[in-house]
Structures are given as C-alpha cells and as structure tokens.
Amino acid sequence: MKEFKLPSIKWHDLTSHFTRPKLEILSLIIILICALSVFTGRIASKQAMTFNNGALQYNGYVVANKMNGQGKLTFDNGDIYEGQFTNGIFHGQGTYTSASGWVYTGQFKNGYADGKGKLTTEGQATYEGTFKQGIYQYEN
C-alpha cells in the first residue's frame, strides 16, 4: 500500500500573503455582507401571492414572506379585506367586505375588529363606535 504524505504548510507561509491592510479590507467586506443579509430580509416588496391552493389571493407588500403593510386579501368565498397587515394578520386600518353584504371599516388588532370602526350589516343597519376582539361595545 502506498503512503500519501500531505505537504507541510507552515504558519509563516500562510500569514505572509495576508498583510494588515488586506485583512482589514476582508473584514470590512464580511461585515457588509452580514449587514446586507440582515436588512434585505426586512425590505418590503410588493407581491402577488396565492395560499391554500388558490383559496386566498394576496396582492400587497410582503416582508420576510409575510403580509406586511398595505395589501388586499381575497377569499375564495368572495370576502375581501383591504388594509394594513402585520406579520400576516389584519392589524391597523382596513375594510372587510363580506360576500353576504356586510362591511366593517375601521381599526383591526391581531386579526379582529378592535378599536374605532363602523359596521354596516346586510340589512343596512349601522353600528359605529368601539369594537373589542370583533364585538361591538354598546355605549350606555
């Protein structure tokens, strides 16, 4: 059996190619690459996305593969939400229009009508005021 010998590499041979200015430039490049990789994942881009085999269609801003910012979500039953999203859920100002005819316009929090808003039912009854987790808060 033949014996293989690896060439001997001395530390001095390796370090003689790297001068201090070259190492500083290399370090700066590595830092810039790391910084860019962190920030590019957080840049909002406008996209059209489809979920659940076409049951949901989204057109709007996306950050880190989640609906973030202004957008429009259309459900396969005809319901439409148009407004602000945070991490993929309704959050901020928006309008939810159901296929059956009722419309809510106002504030959303964690996916629910929450805050000041206006609900108009199919029969055109209007409830305007404060909502908490999707429930109208009657004022006494």
Query: Strand (E) positions, 33-125?
Result: 45-51, 56-63, 66-75, 80-86, 89-97, 103-109, 112-120
At residue 117, the pLDDT reads: 96
Distance CA 56, CA 91 (A): 18
* Angle, vertex CA 106, rays to CA 80 and CA 93, nearest 5: 80
Mean pLDDT of the region 44-56: 87
Task: Identify the bridge partners of residue 129 per DSSP, sorted by sequence position.
Answer: 117
Q: Assign 3 a pLDDT band (cuts: 50, 70, 90).
A: confident
SS3 letters across 61-72: EEECCEEEEEEE
User: 0.75 exceeded by the pTM?
Assistant: no
Report which DSSP code applies to 53. Answer: G
Nearest to 58 by CA among 36, 74, 38: 74
Q: What is the pLDDT of residues 71-130, one digit of tens each?
A: 999 999 999 999 999 999 999 999 999 999 999 999 999 999 999 999 999 988 999 999
